[in-house]
Amino acid sequence: MHHVEYENNYITLLTKQEILNPYLVLDNLFVDFSSAEALQDELFEILTIAIRRNYWLTYDSPLVLYKKYKKLVRLFEAGWLISKIRPTSFVHESLLTPYDQIEASVPNRKTKKTTKDVVSEGYRIVVFSYNSSSLDIIRGNLFYLLFEGLMPTCVKYSNEIDPYYFRMMQEMNDLISALQTVYHYEKDNILSELDMAVLKTICDEFISRESFFDYNSDLQGGLSYTNKEELKNALAISRKILFTTNFWKLHGNPGNILYYYHDFLFILDSYWMHYLELCNKGVAFNTKWKYPGEKKNELHHSGYEWIKRPWKLLYDNFEKRSIHDWRNLLDKCLEDVLSNRFIGYSTDSHNEDILRFISSLLFLESLQEYEPEIY
C-alpha cells in the first residue's frame, strides 16, 4: 500500500464492539470449524493468485478475493488485540527461555522450538508474531500479494515474488493456527477488568484517530508523483463498471482499481485532516478565494458551485457525513466496482456521492496555490 508508514500497530477493520471484545471476531470465524484449515486455505489462495498469472479469473469476481483479504486482516487485527491481554503473566513466564539456555551463536538454518503442549505453543506463536512484525507490515504484505495477483499495470513490478513473502506467508499460516488454538482454549473465559481496561484504551485510540492509515507524507508530497489524469480516468471507469454486468470477465488488471482507490482514500483522509485544522484555526468557511483574472475566467466554467468558496466544499460534505461514513462509502463503492454486478442507480447505493466528492477533492487539490493562508 503506497502512502503508508509501516511502523505502527493500530486497528482498521474492526468495530468498536469487536475492539472491546476481540474474541467476537474469532468466534465468528472459527465457531463452525474444528481446525484452522479453512482460513489457511484462503490465505494461500492469496499467495496462489500472486504466483499464477491471471489465476484471479477462475473466481466469480475480484471481489471474492478482496473479501478474503479483509477477512484475514480482521483476524490478524483481533489477534493483535488478544496479544495485548494474553497470555497471562503466569503462562507467559512458562514460555520464557532461561538465560543459561540462550544459544550464543546464530544457527545457519532456523529451527522451530516447540513447547510441551499445543496451547502453550499457540501462545508462543502469538507472542512471537506480534512482536516481530507490526500490524502495518502484516496488512501490507497481505495487500501486496493481493495487489500483485490482480495483475496491476499502473506500477512497474517484478514478475517474481521475493522469497521474503513466502516466509511471511508461513508465519501468517502458523499465526492462524495459533489463534484458532487460543480461541478454543479461551472461548468460555470472561474478560477481566484489567482486560477490559486495556481494550478500552485501544478503542479510545481507534476512535480518536484522524486517518485510516498512518501516512508517510502530506497531500502535496503524496500526490507529487501521481498522474492526476489517471485518477480522473479511474473515476470515469468506475462509473462505467457500475453500469456493466460481468465487467471483469472481459477486462483485465483489476489491481489498478485497488491502487487508485487507495489514492482516493489518501486524498479523502488528507482533506479530512485539513478540515480539522481549519476548524481548529476558526477559519470562516465562507471565505472567498482570490484568483488571478485569467484563472478566474477559467474556473467560472468549471461547473463547481463551490469554486468561489472552496472551504465550503469541505464544510458541507464533512457536516453532511462523518469521515467514517465517507470511508465506508468509498470501500462499498470499491466492492461494487470489483463485484461483476450491475449496480446502476440502486436505491441503497451512494456510489455517485463518493465518486463526485473525490472528483471535487481532486479539483480542489489543483487549486492549493490559491488557498488563503491560515493564521
Residue 49: give the domain boundaries.
Answer: 16-98+114-208
The strand pairing partners of 4, in sequence order, are 215
Q: Are residues 197 and 224 in the same domain?
A: no
Residue 136, CA distances (Å) to 5, 7, 236, 264 in order: 8, 7, 31, 19
109 is a domain residue: no
3-state secondary structure of 4: strand
Average pLDDT of the residues of the chain: 90
Confidence band of 111 (pLDDT split at 50, 70, 90): very low
Cell numbers placing 93: 513466564
In tens, the pLDDT along 187-209 reads 888 899 999 999 999 999 999 99
Query: Where is average pLDDT lowest: 83-87, 91-95, 256-260, 273-277?
Result: 91-95
In tens, the pLDDT along 16-35 reads 999 999 999 999 999 877 78
Confidence band of 83 (pLDDT split at 50, 70, 90): very high
Cell numbers placing 262: 487507495
Confidence band of 318 (pLDDT split at 50, 70, 90): very high
45 is a domain residue: yes
Give pLDDT, residue 211: 95
Q: Are residues 235 and 157 in the same domain?
A: no
Q: Are residues 176 and 225 in the same domain?
A: no
Is the pLDDT at 37 greater than 50, yes or no? yes
Confidence band of 99 (pLDDT split at 50, 70, 90): low
Backbone angles phi and psi of 154, in degrees to 5 = -80, -15
Give pLDDT, residue 88: 56
Alpha carbons 25 and 334: distance in angstroms, whole number = 23
Segment 365-374 shows an average pLDDT of 92
Residue 141: closest CA among 112, 162, 111, 124: 162
Q: Are residues 27 and 61 in the same domain?
A: yes
1 is a domain residue: no
Q: Are residues 127 and 238 in the same domain?
A: no
105 is a domain residue: no
Q: Are residues 239 and 180 in the same domain?
A: no
Look at the pTM and tell me if it is higher than 0.75: yes
Alpha carbons 97 and 323: distance in angstroms, whole number = 46
Count of structural domains, the chain? 2
Out of 148, 181, 208, a domain closes at: 208
Q: Are residues 203 and 170 in the same domain?
A: yes
In tens, the pLDDT along 131-184 reads 988 898 999 999 999 999 999 999 876 667 889 999 999 999 999 999 999 999
Segment 338-345 shows an average pLDDT of 93
Query: What burial letters (b/e) apply to 329-347, b meaning 16+ CB within 10 Å?
Result: bbbebbbbbbbbbebeeee
Q: Contact 314/275 with Cβ under 8 angstroms?
A: yes
Residue 339: closest CA among 236, 265, 234, 238: 238
301 is a domain residue: yes
Q: Are residues 167 and 53 in the same domain?
A: yes
Q: Are residues 194 and 311 in the same domain?
A: no
Q: Contact 115/181 with Cβ under 8 angstroms?
A: no
Full DSSP string of 167-222:
HHHHHHHHHHHHHHHHHHHHTT----HHHHHHHHHHHHHHHH-SSSS-BSS-HHHH
3-state secondary structure of 124: helix
Out of 208, 237, 258, a domain closes at: 208
Segment 32-43 shows an average pLDDT of 89
Q: Are residues 67 and 133 in the same domain?
A: yes
Out of 181, 208, 235, a domain closes at: 208
285 is a domain residue: yes
261 is a domain residue: yes
In tens, the pLDDT along 217-228 reads 888 777 877 889
Give pLDDT, residue 11: 97
In tens, the pLDDT along 205-256 reads 999 999 999 998 888 777 877 889 999 999 999 999 999 999 999 999 999 9
Q: Are residues 204 and 223 in the same domain?
A: no
7 is a domain residue: no
3-state secondary structure of 350: coil
Segment 298-304 shows an average pLDDT of 86
Neighbours of 68 (CB within 10 A): 20
Q: Are residues 203 and 225 in the same domain?
A: no
Amino acid at 280: N
Is the pLDDT at 348 greater than 60, yes or no? yes
